[in-house]
Amino acid sequence: MKISDRESATALIERWRTDPFGVLGPHCVGKKRWEIRVYAPAADALVALAIRDKAALCVLHRAHNSGFWIGELTGDKRPDYLLAITCAGVTTHTRDPYSFGLILDTDDLLAVRGEGPRQAYESLGAHRRTLDGVDGMTFAVWAPNATRVSVVGAFNDWDSRTHSMRFRHVFGVWELFVPGLEAGILYKYEILGPDGVCLPLKADPYAFAAELPPATASITQPLPQKRMADGAKSAPAREQPVSIYECHLGSWARIAEDGNRYLSYRELASRLLPYVCDMGFTHIELLPITEYPFDGSWGYQPISLYAPTRRFGEPEDFAFFVAEAHRLGLYVLLDWVPAHFPSDAHGLAKFDGTYLYEHADPRQGFHQDWGTLVYNFGRKEVEAFLVANARFWLERYGIDGLRVDAVASMLYLDYSREPGEWVPNRFGGRENIEAIDFLRHLNKTANSVSGGAITIAEESTTWPGVSRPVWTGGLGFSFKWNMGWMNDTLRYMSRDPIYRRHHHSDLTFGLLYAFSENFVLPLSHDEVVHGKRSLLERMPGDRWRQFANLRAYYGFMWGHPGKKLLFMGGEIAQVREWDHDSSLDWHLLEDPMHKGVQDFVRDLNQAYRDCPALHQRDCEPDGFQWIVGDDRDNSVLAFARFDLGRKNIIIIVCNFTPIPRYDYRIGAPRVGFWREIVNSDWEKYGGSNVGNNPGVSTESIESHGFDCALCVTCPPLSTIMFEWTPD
């Protein structure tokens, strides 16, 4: 169709924003006759030039006062051209975005649904590409119900009229190639919903970088190179030591003299990572670092799941942080949040004017506890978005594992809901079938990544098989947080020792189910916020007893079956609750009692790593045996831990009263000398230095079902460990 009059031009202008490639760019209007059509409302003059020698092909004239320009030329084939655009006396040369063909091929489009050989993040989002020999940036976004989508940014003065996108109808994807764009450009999407209402500008769900909040734009950023061979070892199996230091990067330490600013990723790499190594932890777990708008959410309400938060630096700085952790022998875990997302206008909420990523029914799509939205796990494109995101962090940044937040809220349709506030599944049950399928898909994907990444579920119910393989009917996680152990033991430790005899089962009950899952014992950030007090402040008694109780509790935890997790500050006996807006109280280490707790945690980690009996069979009943489990009157526990070959044996004895127990007889699983390797009451930790140094030898006395016994001294409020030593 040739534009020959104002009426035709007006008709096309009304159409071009929903079908820009049907109107703009080069169009054949007759035999060997072509029109070049450009929408450039700010232009004063336009000329189409030959690409090779920049000779003028045609001068475009303004066909409509809205900024619609047309030029005519003749030729046998579709013209290739360069646009010379003059605005306010300045002329720039650029290729016409509407002169290029289709961008996404079949494999790209299949990836949007999680099908085919590519990942969704390799197709959608902003990618630096070369098309027909021209460098630029491709943009692609899933918005199937939109009437129009435009990419806007600093490169076009945020004018949605100039870069409307092509719609790939079958897959619901909009695409556009913008020549000349490079990394570091701010952009968003302007979306016209199906009702004709223009939505607030949306950040790119697949953006690899984002502005520092409160700014909300996405940033063009190269796709990170795969980093799985970055020096990280294969992720540890359940037979390996796993001692996790849970960390919030924004409050581990700050620079007070510089306005209480954050440490950067590179500063954290040089300060935090060596500290974690020195403390003997095997893993560092980061509270969510996917870009989030509200500091008070601690990262648990993310907006840009593919972008490391800019609070601490650039994406390449975060990559350096991970690489440095691996160089030091540390594994890096990320807290990952697929259970919900915030309703911020620039985020995923009603992304194309409809309930796209979330359920339309608030009984399914709204989290009452957190005021957030719930993903529609039954939608292929949503599942692909999340599974590809997990793979992105594992493959592109070399992350060693994911701790998946709020799994219980995903599994149950009636989670935190009253009758009538939830929708049953197709069988009439309360199980979220789509979420179960998603979690299994997630875990199979993580397991397929080179080396096999670990996944850890924060799951607070008795859902069976959380950490069992998918092929057995389990969810496929590597580990599960043992919330029951944490609640029972913290409740016990908060009681005055005079009453503990009446609550002895709080310590022993966990062994009834300790091997039903692969457990992590968590003393996490959730236990030191919202008025719960710090771990130290929850311990009863005077100052000396509080510290003794805390050390004894840590000793019990490190001796107990299960992997270990401690939130930052716990290792220095932080007095106040955690505050995400300020640094940990590192000055406390000037006090010998706080320094003693730190030294004790370091030595516990050393013993845990050095003694196979303390970690190899954390998840197997054959690695544990009660010696004394019923002495509630004295609040004493004793148990043995065994390695895979039963060559290394550790006996753990706990006395949870302030009364020392002398000549306390316990059975021993092997004859010989038992060296005291850990004692929470040693003087160097701030204790009273009661103990069994260097150790004790067995006596030929039957006790507790064993052929020989040890006669030991149990210090007050203590945990001690003995290692069998061959003659």
Strands (DSSP E) along 40-111, which ranges?
45-49, 56-64, 68-74, 82-87, 90-94
CA distance 457 to 436: 13
For residue 694, whether the previous peptide bond is cis, meaning omega lies within 30 degrees of 0, is yes
CA distance 224 to 272: 24
Helical (H) or strand (E) element with 538: helix 535-538
Complete DSSP assignment for 130-146 = EETTEEEEEEEEE-TT-
Contact 507, 492 (CB under 8 A): yes
Which three-class secondary structure state does DSSP give residue 337?
A: coil
CA distance 1 to 10: 13
Residue in the block written with tokens 């030595």 = 603
CA distance 200 to 413: 31
In sign, the C-alpha dihedral spanning 716, 635, 489, 619 is positive
Of 190, 405, 459, 618, which residue is the catalytic one?
405
Q: How far is CA 75 from CA 29, 30, 53, 99, 348, in A?
A: 11, 10, 17, 16, 46
590 is catalytic: no
Of 35, 434, 458, 603, which residue is the catalytic one?
458
727 is catalytic: no
Residues 650-662, buried b or exposed e (16+ Cβ, 10 A)?
bbbbbbbbbebbe
Which three-class secondary structure state does DSSP give residue 629?
A: strand
DSSP state of 46: E
Strand pairing report for 33-39 and 45-49: unpaired
Contact 153, 185 (CB under 8 A): yes
CA distance 137 to 3: 31
Catalytic residues: 405, 458
